[in-house]
């Protein structure tokens, strides 16, 4: 597992993943660590979070005040 450092603005822990595959008896790692495409994904995540907050009446936390 990679080291984790969480914050208000990044609670993904860095965003890297690696894939594992079940072989019928155990999990086997089948890839190196892969970084997410943040410039592509972050705007999608933010828009989805804003919509969810609006629908549920949630006031999002302002990380600039943390």
Chunked into runs of 10 residues, the chain (66 residues) has average pLDDT values of 76 82 97 92 91 96 82
* Domain contains 64: no
| Cα 32 → chain centroid | 17
Question: Is 47 within a domain?
Answer: yes
Q: What pLDDT is recorded for position 36? A: 87
> What's residue 12's pLDDT?
73
Per the DSSP assignment, residues forming a β-bridge with 20 are 29
- Note whether 33 and 17 are within 8 A (CB): yes
Q: Does a structural domain hold residue 42? A: yes
Is 55 part of a structural domain of the chain? Answer: yes
pLDDT recorded at residue 56: 97
The reported pTM is: 0.62
Containing structural domain, residue 46: 35-59
pLDDT at 20: 97
pLDDT at residue 25, as a whole number: 97
Name the domain count of the chain: 1
Nearest to 19 by CA among 7, 29, 4: 29
Residue 45 covered by a domain = yes
Q: Looking at the domain assignment, is residue 2 inside a domain?
A: no
What is the DSSP track for 12-53? STT-EE--EEE-SSSEEE-S--EE--HHHHHHHHHHHHHHHH
């Amino acid at each position: 597992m990679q080291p984790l450092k969480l914050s208000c603005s990044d609670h993904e822990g860095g965003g890297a993943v690696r894939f594992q595959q079940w072989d019928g008896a155990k999990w086997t790692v089948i890839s190196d660590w892969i970084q997410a495409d943040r410039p592509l994904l972050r705007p999608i995540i933010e828009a989805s979070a804003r919509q969810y907050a609006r629908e549920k009446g949630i006031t999002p936390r302002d990380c600039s005040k943390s």
